[in-house]
Structures are given as C-alpha cells and as structure tokens.
Amino acid sequence: MVDSAVLPLRQAPTGADREIMRSSTVDLVADTARAAAARRTTAWLAGGLSAAAAVAGGWLAPPDAVQGQAQRLMYLHVPAAWVAYAAFALVLAAGGAYLIWGDLRWDRFARAAAEVGVVLTAVAIGTGSLWGHLVWGTWWAWDPRLVSTVLLLFAYAGYLALRRTVSERTGAPDGGDHRVARPAAAAGVGGFLLVPVVHFSVIWWRSLHQQATVLAPQRPPIDARMGVALLLAVAAATLVAFCVVLHRVVRLERRLTGDATPTAERTPARVG
C-alpha cells in the first residue's frame, strides 16, 4: 500500500508556469510582436483565399442557365449572409461568456463581431437588392426573407447604438466598463433570436427567395464548379471577417490602455 504522504501534491501554477504556458501558445489579440506576426499570416491566408474565390466565382464557375451572369452575385451575397450569421453567433457566445464570467475581453469580442455582422448584413441586403432587380425586375419586394433581414440589421445597429448611448451617458469607456457591457450583453443575446427567423423564413412563409441549395435535403441541385466556388467564397469571407474581428479587438484594447503602437515582444520564458 502506497503511503499517501509521499505522493507529491499538485501545486497551483506559479507565475513562471503561467508565463511558460503563455509562451507556448499565441494569443491572437495580444499586443505583442509574436501575435502581430500571427495576425499578418492569417491576413495573407485570407487574401490568398479571397483571390482564389474571386477567380473561381468570376471565371471558372459557369453562369446559371436561367439567371445568366446575374447569378454570380451569389458568390458575394451568400457568403455575406452566412458570415453575418456567424458574427452574430459570436456576439451571442461572447455576450453569454461575459454574463457568466464577467471578463470584459468577451465584451470587446462581442462589440467587434457585431460591427462586422452589421456591415455584412448591409452587404447581403445590397447585393440581394441588386440581384432581385436583375432577376425579379424590382429593387425591393415585401418578402419575408428581405423584411426579416432588415429587422436583423436594425436589431444589431440598435445594439451598437445602445453601447454608444450608455457610454456617452455614463462616461464609461465602451468595451472597458461593466456599465456598458451588461446591457449590451443582454441586447446581443436577445437579438440573436432573429437569426433563425431570417434563416427559416423561406420555409415558414411563402417567399420569392429560393430555399436552401447546398444544404437541401435532396442532392444539391448545383453544378459542382458552382459549389466549389461558393464554398471558397464562404471560407474566404469567414477568414476575412475573423481577421477584422481580431484587428478591432486589438484596436479597442489599445484605445483603452492609451497605447497607439504595439508593445515589443515580451521576454520569452525558458522552457527546460
């Protein structure tokens, strides 16, 4: 029988241990040279993927048999809509994480994601309006998908306006004070309820908007080259949005700390 007294007790991580753990990973929103290099690498990957998506969607994929060249707007419209969903999902997750743990960094992620989501929703509405004009012959129709998407845009534009209003009224820095973060987190979590309404509106109500293509229950009725181009476009838009969110979080943290330039790389801890 082993005497438990001779077994080493598990110690809490010391400051040196925590520094070693930090040095073994890259915090992409840290204001260090190492993190900045990682962000630049990610941005280059996003640029390369965007170029590949542009070539695939603009030249390699064939035009639609019915809609002709107007269908190529799909490679901008669909990624904008899908990544806007993802951005609002990040607002939901970050807002929930803030409400649970109270870490203001989650609030900064929520704000950055909401900004990206609002811009992408506006792009989706604009490209959808142009596509509708070319195919339906009208810039606007009182279609459930269109109306619900505009409501989604208003909801998260209101979320950003709420943050600004509370910040100006209380004098608290946006992204750096719980007086702004608490009501913003509640609004961001509640606003996500509109996302499934937008997505399923073409199923729940009679709509001019076409239903799911790639995620259709039956075999996707789409040319393989179109499918590849669309997937490339979605991947590129996702990575570009990710880069923008990281950039915005870094800028917010610099603004809160009063630093205008990145700090030098911290002295790495010796391992072993």
Quickly list H helices, the chain: 15-23, 33-55, 74-101, 104-135, 144-170, 178-191, 194-204, 224-257
Read off the pLDDT band of 124 (50, 70, 90): very high
Over residues 28-36, the mean pLDDT reads 88
| Rounded-to-integer distance, Cα 84 and Cα 246, Å | 16
Share of the chain above pLDDT 70, in %: 79
Q: Which amino acid is at 120?
A: L
236 closest CA partner among 56, 90, 71, 29: 56
Q: How high is the pLDDT of residue 136?
A: 80
How distant, in Å, are the alpha carbons of 37, 45, 52, 54, 266 from that of 236?
Answer: 20, 9, 9, 10, 32
Model pLDDT for residues 225-272, shown as the tens digit of each residue: 998 999 999 999 999 999 999 999 999 999 998 755 555 444 333 333
What's the CA dihedral at 26, 29, 33, 37 to 10 degrees?
70
Over residues 9-35, the mean pLDDT reads 58
| Rounded-to-integer distance, Cα 132 and Cα 138, Å | 6
Over residues 207-219, the mean pLDDT reads 55
Q: Which residues, including other chains, have CB under 8 Å from residue 178's CB and lie 6 or more apart?
A: 102, 104
Q: How high is the pLDDT of residue 207?
A: 61
Strand partners, 68: 64
Q: Does the structure show a pLDDT above 80 at 49? A: yes
What's the CA dihedral at 141, 143, 146, 149 to 10 degrees?
150
On whether the CB atoms of residues 238 and 86 are closer than 8 A, the answer is: yes
- For the ranges 8-22, 118-132, 193-207, the one whose mean pLDDT is highest: 118-132
| Rounded-to-integer distance, Cα 146 and Cα 149, Å | 5
Read off the pLDDT band of 144 (50, 70, 90): confident
Output 200-203 pairs: Cβ under 8 A, ≥24 positions apart: 201/144, 201/145, 201/148, 202/144, 202/145
Structure tokens at 76: 């901008």
Q: How high is the pLDDT of residue 261?
A: 53
